[in-house]
Structure 1
């Protein structure tokens, strides 16, 4: 792959190759290997393709016929209008802005569809992955590490799933920093649906990427495929709360295969959600991630562009009562009744304090009426 990409091509050849890559990639039934064989055979030089030419490369009859037709007719993709409506763009592996780190992975995506701030791809990236159902401890770890690493100038990469993914994106954005979401759906599809607000914010303030053409029917197998892109964009992958069979461990394995750094946040020995992370550390496959400074130290040779001071939100001022309750919740999540007993505040005053802390985004209310510090 590297030898082919490093060859010297004329501008006209590159443009024709780019058109061919997009046409083939967007043809249903044409996979990565089929397109690779077609490029190796230099079929992009052909003004027209015969179905038989593609069939000889091992491509099934129906997709071969459709790919030949699209190349002959210079087919305009169905999703072209939707992509333009999102102010999105295509980026092929032949384009100068294609991330160099991603270009080096096994089976890099031929085409990426992007919506948002393309310049974020120039930042040093760190992936944050983990469970879709984090504990209070996991939520705190994801928010704290992502916020601090984003403020230090790293772009936080994740998959916009529920749980650790979404928390990491939000924390990076709230820090005025950079974050990139790699979707397991086309870029016009917000999944899961309850992350629509986050998706819209990522399109405005961050960057949304996908290798799937608009119009591709969403299938469960598409989500694991994007994990290699999350790992491939990133200098390192941070795993926060992963059970023994977690998909996050697949992302960690892929990062290791790519010779990238892997970090794991240790968890309680009795927590099933920490089995995977603890095993990564125990087996020497991941470094202990106990702070953002520990992680950033491994990349001290880089000089990430930190967010401008004006872009960082001002820390809200807390009253004495608010600070007291906040410190109690920093120790551990508690219910309103537990806070009432521990604080000695009048119940009405306590409710006012809790509402103010939620509005100031210092704490969150979770299922079971449990409050947790952010």
Structure 2
């Protein structure tokens, strides 16, 4: 995608037109690319379906595009954005991020709420599993705080677990944070991140390529991962299972020649399996402290002192606690299953489970099912 210069007076018109095309059912990246290649945005709102067909669109798409560009529909679209606080940036805008512009099939349209200037800052992505351990969340938050203090914006996907911890840590510093959503930018997903979402709206930036009023579905998230990687100089994976969205983000970063880093975790934890595989296979550089990442981007930051990460250690476990934790590390289990597999009496098991919850190593789910953290 080339960075085309646009006469300022035409920029708003082209932005509205691109957004209208992007929101038209059946019109995807290739269709818009075809239209752009033939300078198809000129006087787009005045075109009849037959004229769109001359640009290579099918009859059905031509009619849909012409209807989407009607003045009434355009006004409804702008009113919708204004009501929800959404703004739009397109690939034709001079503020569109250069790094993102050069990925494979960069999004033509991004919806955003918050501080657009954060897109111009050097960014590092911090991603990981939704089912994060306390160790993982602490590492993600502390690393992100250090990155932000150094002047790097921290980018993530605002999912539960590592993503949420990364955003929270970044908000402790001055670098800011960018949340890339798979859902529309004005939809809080997951709902339990509502407080975090509001903070990012006020202090950071929410970004999505998903149009308003589109229902959430799994197909939205691979593109979200590509945008996270595309915006970032490098991707830090804190905790990830062997097959996880965080590893997909890392793979996108590798495809786009971005740096990939991984935080090592215990070999006994399934949540660290993916990060350990990245390190074993030489696909990622090891992160033991924030400086391991920041030193690669010093030229973007100037002379900034990096605060040291606070030391953190897991609470020690008794022999019985360690036995139960190892069983849960293999997967969720009920109290009855744990009693049978561990050989502990039910009374002792109950005491051990309470102790592990106090130490925040396990969590009880509905139905007396326990999971390791």
Is the structural similarity TM-score above 0.5?
Answer: yes
- Measure how far apart 1:196 and its partner are: 0.7
Partner of 1:130: 128
CA contact (8 A) 2:138 2:165 kept: no
- Is 1:206 matched up with 2:204? yes
Q: Which structure 1 residue ranges, 5 or more long, are not aligned?
A: 313-325, 339-364
TM-score computed with the length of structure 1 as normaliser:
0.78
Partner of 1:45: 42
CA contact (8 A) 2:129 2:241 kept: yes
- Measure how far apart 1:132 and its partner are: 0.3
The DSSP-based 3-state class of the residue aligned with 1:134 is coil
- Paired residue for 1:19, among 13, 16, 19? 16
CA contact (8 A) 2:148 2:172 kept: no
The DSSP-based 3-state class of the residue aligned with 1:226 is helix
Partner of 2:335: none
TM-score computed with the length of structure 2 as normaliser:
0.78
CA contact (8 A) 1:34 1:57 kept: no
Partner of 1:272: 270
Partner of 1:33: 30
Partner of 1:84: 82
CA distance in 1, matches of 2:42, 2:82: 28
- Measure how far apart 1:20 and its partner are: 2.3
**Structure 1 residues 115, 366: CA separation in 2 closer, same or farther (over 3 Å shift)?**
farther
1:188-267 matches, cutoff 5 A: 188-267=186-265
The DSSP-based 3-state class of the residue aligned with 2:300 is coil
**Structure 1 residues 210, 114: CA separation in 2 closer, same or farther (over 3 Å shift)?**
same
Partner of 1:370: 359
Deviations 1:66-101 (A, max 9, x none): 211222446326453343234331111111111111
Partner of 2:334: none
Partner of 1:333: 315
CA contact (8 A) 1:105 1:232 kept: yes
Partner of 1:360: none
- Measure how far apart 1:222 and its partner are: 0.7
CA distance in 2, matches of 1:59, 1:271: 52
Partner of 2:366: none
CA distance in 1, matches of 2:292, 2:19: 41
The DSSP-based 3-state class of the residue aligned with 1:115 is strand
**Structure 1 residues 171, 334: CA separation in 2 closer, same or farther (over 3 Å shift)?**
farther
1:280-291 matches, cutoff 5 A: 280-291=278-289
CA contact (8 A) 1:18 1:92 kept: yes
The DSSP-based 3-state class of the residue aligned with 1:302 is helix
Deviations 1:207-247 (A, max 9, x none): 10111121122212112211111011110000111111111
The DSSP-based 3-state class of the residue aligned with 1:209 is strand
**Structure 1 residues 74, 157: CA separation in 2 closer, same or farther (over 3 Å shift)?**
same
Partner of 1:346: none
CA distance in 1, matches of 2:80, 2:40: 29
CA contact (8 A) 2:86 2:186 kept: no
**Structure 1 residues 301, 27: CA separation in 2 closer, same or farther (over 3 Å shift)?**
same
**Structure 1 residues 104, 77: CA separation in 2 closer, same or farther (over 3 Å shift)?**
farther
Deviations 1:253-307 (A, max 9, x none): 1111111111011121222111211111121111111110111011121226979
- Measure how far apart 1:368 and its partner are: 1.9
Partner of 2:177: 179
**Structure 1 residues 306, 186: CA separation in 2 closer, same or farther (over 3 Å shift)?**
farther
The DSSP-based 3-state class of the residue aligned with 1:220 is coil
CA contact (8 A) 1:136 1:333 kept: no
